[in-house]
Amino acid sequence: MTTDVPSFPPLKPRDPVEIGGYRTVGRLGAGGMGAVYAARSPAGELVAVKLVHGDLATDPEFRARFRREADLVGRVVGPCVPRFLAQDTAADQPWLATEYVSGPTLRQHVREHGPLTGASLHAFATGVAEALRAIHAAGIVHRDLKPGNVILAPDGPKVLDFGIARAIDETAITRTGGLFGTPGWVAPELLKGAPPSVAADVFAWGGLVAYAATGRSPFGTGSAETMAVRVLDGKPDLAGVPDSLMPLVRAATGQDPRQRPTVEQTLAELLGTDRATVVDPGSDATELVTRVLRQGWEAPPPPTVFTGDPVPRRRPRRRRPRLLSGAAVSALVLVASAAWVAGDRFSQEPVGTDVGADGGATEEVGDGAGDETGEQVAVEIASNGLFMVHSDPDGTLDLTPGFDGAGSALPEGVDRAEFVVASVDVNTVYADVQRQSGVKVIGELEYLADEGEFTLRAGDFVLLEVGDEWDPLPDDPTVDGRPAHTAPGDEVVATVSTDTPNAEFEVDFADAPQSGLLTYRPAANAVGGTAEVAGVYTCYMNWHPYPPVDMTDEEYVPCPTERPE
């Protein structure tokens, strides 16, 4: 029985104290589908339990999809995937439990400590190949292998997130068509319309090993379109991959899936054995992999806890210490229910407008020069449905209040750690699940500064309709006359501070359509005083089961007016 108690984000008042016999001890993550909890089994084992939101549990189609996910997770057995423990997809709120996996993701480790080298790199390549062998042996293709979906556990790499995995012998249950995966990690044949395959997972394995060895994505960074062009161009950046791995990595990232090595061939090469040894998951290969991990794997250091000295109210803020959560510590990665496309607003112009109750422009909010402090607040879309709020007390961001132009980053040269105040994790679900109507914006607010507080109001969010008569990616979506759906502007839905840094919130829009633009613009006094504010907008699509892209890679596409057939 485990006696140590790791630190987890604390449970919230509405969180369950027990799920299916597992006693919850902390939160690991949350999203549009539900929440993931750290919990103890009756025997004291630490586990991760994924619990579906109650409103989604009433949707038969969603239950079918969750039941399929639980079935997929339960099929996979191996030393480099989390161990499936239990599930109850017939419960009032369906849930599934897996082994709890601690450690940083590969992306976190590379960002904080640099690439893997030597025996650890070889063990990483071997462990991920073994995980794919177990996944494929269960009749599944992963479809989204990337640095954020591999945890570097004390005993070796663990491949996570079967949220968009697809059974090879069945048609995935989805609510819409389209390409699943993350730009830069999706194989070229998938971009051309081919179905998911084990060869596509091998392509992602090659890119993943290159990233682990060099600290760079083999196809760089940029918009989804840019990444797709680079993948189709077939020239990955592999400089820095060691000679011992280069032939395998180069072959795995090749354009022709028929010319790539199979997982079995890859694993045999890494283990220095023949292919016949690794075909059967129950063969001696598992023992060979375990030996490689035992001899070569070096347990990674825990993620860095960033600390900052307390600073005066009118100085740039520094990031406060925060607990590791979500995919970094969980054997389950929660996937949001809405798909997002985004624009955020910065420019050199000195004027701006506020969002009125009808979605149109109202009078100017602050002129900067006349404000006593010149404080500015800017919102950035950091990833899929995650807004980061930045506050600049001296007005040096030189932003336009309101909305202006499309982009997904702060102005060039801005040090995010100096200005970050809060994060707003947003998802959408039906406001009325039975009738499948209206929109409810739900989410979690976290305070990241060293002092002060941040206030979120219902009026900070406005849902705007889309259609052929309006620009699908407008510079300012609030001024072209499109219908707007609002909530009471002064209603405070959450306040966070250094003493109470976390809060949940929800805002109902009873008449809003199931697809549209969600604008988020904090009130001028959200951080105290009066500030000029630049907001963002995203596309929400309530019918979409999973985000089709990782918004970290910046995709901008039109928001559909209605659910695709």
* Average pLDDT, integer, range 476-490: 91
Q: Is 392 helix (H, G, I), strand (E, B) or coil?
A: strand
Q: 276-279: which pairs have CB atoms within 8 A and are 24 or more residues apart?
A: 278/133
Question: How far is residue 527 CA from its own chain's centroid?
Answer: 26
Name the pLDDT band for 223 (thresholds 50, 70, 90).
Answer: low
At residue 346, does pLDDT exceed 50?
Answer: no
Other beta carbons less than 10 A from residue 129's beta carbon: 31
Q: What is the CA radius of gyration of the chain?
A: 24
C-alpha 512/C-alpha 464 separation (Å) is: 8
Same domain, 94 and 147: no
Residue 282 belongs to domain with CATH number: 1.10.510.10
Question: How far is residue 403 CA from its own chain's centroid?
Answer: 25
Question: Does the reported pTM lie above 0.85?
Answer: no
At residue 169, does pLDDT exceed 80?
Answer: no
Q: Among 99, 115, 135, which residue terminates a domain?
A: 99
Q: Among 277, 296, 315, which residue terminates a domain?
A: 296
- Does residue 564 belong to any structural domain of this protein? no
C-alpha 391/C-alpha 403 separation (Å) is: 16
How high is the pLDDT of residue 30?
62
Same domain, 424 and 530: yes
Question: Total structural domains in the chain?
Answer: 3
Beta-bridge partners for 446:
423, 502
Q: What is the pLDDT of residues 417-436, one digit of tens each?
A: 678 899 898 888 888 877 87
Same domain, 222 and 349: no
Same domain, 42 and 111: no
Using CB atoms within 10 Å of the CB of residue 527, give its burial: 0 to 12 exposed, 13 to 18 middle, 19+ buried.
Answer: buried
- Does residue 459 belong to any structural domain of this protein? yes
- Does residue 406 belong to any structural domain of this protein? yes
Q: Which H or E element spans position 28?
A: strand 22-30
Same domain, 172 and 84: no
Dihedral of alpha carbons 270, 271, 277, 280, sign: negative
C-alpha 509/C-alpha 459 separation (Å) is: 11
Closest CA to 345 of 391, 405, 286: 405
- Does residue 8 belong to any structural domain of this protein? no
Strands (E), 353-408: 376-383, 386-392
| Cβ pair 537, 407 in contact under 8 A | no
Annotation marks residue 144 as catalytic: yes
Same domain, 495 and 393: yes
Position of tokens 């109650």? 54
Same domain, 42 and 147: no
- Whole-number percent of the chain with pLDDT over 70: 73
Same domain, 22 and 40: yes
Same domain, 371 and 519: yes
Give the active site residue among 144, 161, 344, 553.
144
- Does residue 63 belong to any structural domain of this protein? yes
- Does residue 3 belong to any structural domain of this protein? no
Pick left, alpha or beta for residue 54 (phi over 0 → left; psi -120 to 50 → alpha; otherwise beta).
alpha
- Does residue 499 belong to any structural domain of this protein? yes
Q: Which H or E element spans position 536?
A: strand 536-541
DSSP class of residue 436 equals: T
Q: Which H or E element spans position 131?
A: helix 118-137
Residues contacting residue 154 through CB under 8 Å, at least 6 positions apart: 102, 103, 299
Q: What is the pLDDT of residues 347-359, one digit of tens each?
A: 333 333 333 333 3
Same domain, 132 and 57: no
C-alpha 9/C-alpha 25 separation (Å) is: 9
Scanning 255-398, the segments in alpha helix (DSSP H) are 263-271, 275-278, 285-296
**375-to-32, 369, 496, 519 alpha-carbon distances in Å:** 33, 10, 20, 21
Residue 86 belongs to domain with CATH number: 3.30.200.20
Same domain, 89 and 172: no
Residue 365 belongs to domain spanning: 336-553
- Does residue 438 belong to any structural domain of this protein? yes
Strands 95-99 and 46-52: antiparallel
Residue that wins the pLDDT comparison between 160 and 242: 242
C-alpha 154/C-alpha 159 separation (Å) is: 14
C-alpha 443/C-alpha 340 separation (Å) is: 14
At residue 526, does pLDDT exceed 70?
Answer: yes
Same domain, 81 and 110: no
Q: What is the pLDDT of residues 73-127, one digit of tens each?
A: 788 889 999 999 999 989 999 999 999 998 888 988 988 889 999 999 999 999 9
